[in-house]
Structure 1
Amino acid sequence: MKSTDGFFNQYGGKYVAEVLRRPLDELAEAFHFYMNDKVFLEELRIIQRDYIGRETPLYFAPTATKLLGGAQIYIKLEGLANTGAHKINNAIGQCLLAKKMGKTRIIAETGAGQHGLATAAACAKLGLECIVYMGEVDVRRQQPNVAAMELYGAKVCAVTAGSRTLKDAVNEAMRDWAANFENTHYVLGSALGPAPFPDIVREFQSVIGNEVKRQCEERGVKIGAMVACVGGGSNSIGFFSPFIDQKEPRLIGAEAGGIGPGVGENASRMTGDAARDGIMQGYKSRFLLDDDGQALPTRSISAGLDYCGIGPQLAAL
């Protein structure tokens, strides 16, 4: 499943102010050109190998297999990628694309800090200016990542509006991009936002699923089910990507259950009384919204899973 005119069934789209239509159209054109350019793809492959450290291991987990019983459990160790998470796959891809487009300034939003750290590292590698927007609450609870971003030369801007978390960081990044798109690219960190971002992020993260598929084929492992956590959805959609149009394996996305089923106690966008279709931050998807269409508070022990929405392709699936 890929988008049709920016939509995945009824979800997706490009619900933005007129000022952002030009940079989004420019981005879509460049993305489609360079993803068919052999020179760009080879440059990206070399950076993935030599800077990210791909491919990451597929680890058989004997203790988890024994304790949980039943299936043989394998874990894709994305934490061994440079900067410690899958976020670097998308950050490197988008920053390289932006540099080919002639952009010199990169902005990003971050929640847990991993995307901000990955973008800072990508900018340091490629010689680009980097500004990261991060909710004030997340700045306090993710200080090690803030310090690491600054070591890479990034400027971290604490967002004090709203809930002071990821949603508000996205809003600030979008405002910056609208004012500075001539020389600036917004590296959106998850597979959401206005088209073409969901397609871009999925394609750069699909390296995870492509490696898993190849690694399992080499070992003769038949995959029965794949499980991934789902905040916005970048790791899960990249993990699932090569398998989406197949009948097998089962693809299971786990949302943040928080501390209970009530409003403000979880971040479950696919089920529950507060989950509904809506339009926010430039795209249509499933969100936790009140009766007036305003975002509700969420809760998760993970700063990366407490976003009030979910990527449109995952919503469609």
Structure 2
Amino acid sequence: MHNRFDFPQPDAQGYFGQYGGSFVPPQLQTIIDEITQAYLDIRQDPAFLAELTHLYQHFVGRPSPIFHARNLSAEFGAPIYLKREDLNHTGAHKINHCLGEALLAKKMGKKKVIAETGAGQHGVALATAAALVGLECDIYMGEVDIKKEHPNVVRMGILGARVIPATHGRKTLKEAVDAAFDAYLQDPVTQLYAIGSVVGPHPFPMMVRDFQSIIGMEAREQFQQMTGKLPDNLVACVGGGSNAMGLFSAFLEDTEVKMHGVEPAGRGLAQDGEHAATLTKGEPGIMHGFKSYMLKDAKGEPQEVYSVASGLDYPAVGPQHSYLKDAGRVSYGVVDDKEAIDAFFTLSRMEGIIPAIESAHALAYALKLARQGETGSLLVNLSGRGDKDIDFVVANYGAQYGVASLPK
């Protein structure tokens, strides 16, 4: 198997342009340097690559297909295609990097993997990978998200993971990251913090990007086989940005392919704390051990954020996304709660596919582009399925769409 992890960035210090790096205490940097070296070693190891490829095929069910959404295409006047990451085992793209991180932890002799989760998809995927390779697993999750994403919390428990509530602040994704970092600092030797997106100190933005690049590499080949050419547009939601980076990575040199990252406008961009549009409204800063765009309050601290999608409400973003924004290679737009929920029901009722609310943001933006006159092909990364969201959606929006909430 050829080595598919040969990307030109980041540099040896983990920088994509001016973004990235590692801003952690010296004692932790020693451990992270060990992780960096271990990762650089295994990604050149044919045995590791063969094992990962085997698991992708026989455990995850890769390659995930591309589906031509003909009903949407006819309705909105542009060819719309979906990269079906929702069909992966565990229901989202997160399993792609969780298997890689769990295998790395096992090879390093770690006893436990820990992580944060927002929507619960990373938590479920890591708990799944930990069970497969025989590691303990602790998942930190905001109290608000635990209630909102109950089905995934149950899954994590069944898989043998401990779900530990984050009870401070807004009790959502940022606070879960805070809690996981605190736990990791207490014992960085026997456990590996398996970060759930292309964020955090180097090497995690690179490592998660590399594992997620399977999405773009498959999509590039599949789309050409289906249509005889590359897609005109790529569309993916961006919270931390792992599913988007996974799709975009294989097309960065194809300048004729336009790329669109979609951030959550939440209840609106006008009011601080009511959105999580980091690249749209933020500025460079340092949090959680890396430099990137971030949303800051008046004191320069991470701003409170909100999105109807639990997996998108994070006040920073992957450093490679910041680099790509400044370079003008990717355009970043926004979708608010209402547009996302409307797209959630549109896809469900026109194509028979219930998407994750996170993925519905990407679809909503693609439909917006079509309405605005885009007639070129639109390849949307359908990063996850909506099983986890159905109770929340029906309870909060069902009446508007003619769905009655069942009595408990």
Same fold (TM over 0.5): yes
Distance of 2:34 and 2:301 partners within structure 1:
30
CA deviations 1:72-106 (Å, max 9, x no partner) are 11100101000000000010010011111111211
Aligned to 1:231: 239
Residue in structure 2 matching 1:12, options 3, 7, 20: 20
Distance of 1:213 and 1:222 partners within structure 2:
7
Whether the aligned pair in 2 keeps the contact of 1:107 and 1:184 (CA below 8 Å) is yes
Aligned to 2:352: none
Aligned to 2:406: none
Aligned ranges 1:25-44 → 2 under 5 Å? 25-44=33-52
Aligned ranges 1:167-206 → 2 under 5 Å? 167-206=174-213
Aligned to 2:221: 214
Moved more, 280-289 or 218-227: 218-227
Distance of 2:170 and 2:101 partners within structure 1:
28
Residue in structure 2 matching 1:157, options 153, 164, 176: 164
Distance of 2:177 and 2:306 partners within structure 1:
18
Amino acid at match of 1:229: C
1:313 Cα offset (Å):
0.3
Aligned ranges 1:123-142 → 2 under 5 Å? 123-142=130-149
Q: Which ranges in structure 2 are unaligned for 5 or more consecutive residues?
A: 1-7, 325-408
Amino acid at match of 1:119: L
1:248 Cα offset (Å):
2.5
Whether the aligned pair in 2 keeps the contact of 1:19 and 1:178 (CA below 8 Å) is no
Question: Does 2:316 correspond to 1:309?
Answer: yes
Amino acid at match of 1:316: Y
Distance of 2:163 and 2:252 partners within structure 1:
36
Whether the aligned pair in 1 keeps the contact of 2:174 and 2:313 (CA below 8 Å) is no
What's the secondary structure of 2:160's corresponding residue? Answer: coil
The percent identity for this pair of structures is 44
Aligned ranges 1:3-82 → 2 under 5 Å? 3-4=10-11, 5-70=13-78, 72-82=79-89
Residue in structure 1 matching 2:268, options 260, 267, 274: 260
Distance of 2:211 and 2:151 partners within structure 1:
26
If you compute each CA radius of gyration, which structure gives the higher value, 1 or 2?
2
1:245 Cα offset (Å):
2.8
1:19 Cα offset (Å):
2.1
Amino acid at match of 1:27: I
For normalisation by structure 1, the TM-score amounts to 0.97
What's the secondary structure of 1:109's corresponding residue? Answer: strand
Q: Which ranges in structure 1 are unaligned for 5 or more consecutive residues?
A: none
Distance of 1:100 and 1:139 partners within structure 2:
31
Distance of 2:123 and 2:163 partners within structure 1:
9
Aligned to 1:271: 280
Amino acid at match of 1:129: E
Aligned to 2:119: 112
Whether the aligned pair in 1 keeps the contact of 2:293 and 2:317 (CA below 8 Å) is yes
Distance of 2:159 and 2:284 partners within structure 1:
39
Whether the aligned pair in 1 keeps the contact of 2:114 and 2:192 (CA below 8 Å) is yes
Moved more, 89-98 or 178-187: 178-187
Moved more, 243-252 or 222-231: 243-252
Amino acid at match of 1:197: F
Distance of 1:158 and 1:142 partners within structure 2:
13
Distance of 1:210 and 1:277 partners within structure 2:
30
What's the secondary structure of 1:270's corresponding residue? Answer: helix
Distance of 1:20 and 1:293 partners within structure 2:
24
Whether the aligned pair in 2 keeps the contact of 1:270 and 1:286 (CA below 8 Å) is yes
